[in-house]
Structure 1
Amino acid sequence: MGSDARRDRLVKLLEPVVVAEGLDLEDVTITPAGRRRLVRVVVDGDGGVSLDHVAEVSRAVSKTLDAHDALGSDPYVLEVTSPGVDRPLTLPRHWRRARGRLVRVELAGDAPVEGRVTASDDSGAELDVGGVVRRVEYQQVTRARVQVEFRRLDDDDDDDGDEG
Structure 2
Amino acid sequence: MSANLNTTLSQTVTGLGYVLVEIERSAGGLLRVTIDHPWEAGQEEVLIAVEDCERVTRQLQYVLEVEGVDYKRLEVASPGIDRPLLGESDFERFNGEMVDLTLKVAIGSEVAAQSVGAVNANRKKFRGKLRKAQAGGWQIELENEAAKPLKPGAKVSKKKLEAPATVMGFTLDELKEARLAPIVDFKGRKPKTV
**1:80, CA displacement in angstroms?**
0.8
Listed as ranges, the gaps of 5+ residues in structure 2 are 40-45, 112-118, 120-124, 144-164
Partner of 1:95: helix, strand, or coil? Answer: helix
* Equivalent residues, number: 142
Question: Which residue in the other structure is 1:28 paired with?
Answer: 23
Question: Which residue in the other structure is 2:156 paired with?
Answer: none
Partner of 2:84: helix, strand, or coil? Answer: coil
Which of the numbers 84, 89, 94 marks the counterpart of 1:88? Answer: 84
Question: Which residue in the other structure is 1:78 paired with?
Answer: 74
Q: Name the CA distance, whole Å, in 2 between partners of 1:42 and 1:126.
A: 27
- Cα deviation, 1:122-152, whole Å, max 9, x if unaligned, reads x733555688986532223344332122344
**1:84, CA displacement in angstroms?**
3.1
**1:113, CA displacement in angstroms?**
4.9
Flag the 1:29–1:104 CA change in 2: closer, same or farther, 3 A.
closer
Q: Which has the higher contact order (CA 8 A, sep 6+)?
A: 2
**Seq. identity, %:** 23
Question: Which residue in the other structure is 1:60 paired with?
Answer: 59
Which of the numbers 37, 43, 67 marks the counterpart of 2:35? Answer: 43
Are the aligned partners of 1:10 and 1:28 in contact in 2 as well (CA < 8 Å)?
no
Q: Name the CA distance, whole Å, in 1 between partners of 2:190 and 2:139.
A: 17
Q: Which has the higher strand share?
A: 1
Flag the 1:28–1:153 CA change in 2: closer, same or farther, 3 A.
closer
Q: Name the CA distance, whole Å, in 2 between partners of 1:142 and 1:39.
A: 23
Q: Which has the higher helix share?
A: 1
RMSD: 3.2
Flag the 1:150–1:78 CA change in 2: closer, same or farther, 3 A.
closer
TM-score, scaled to structure 2:
0.57
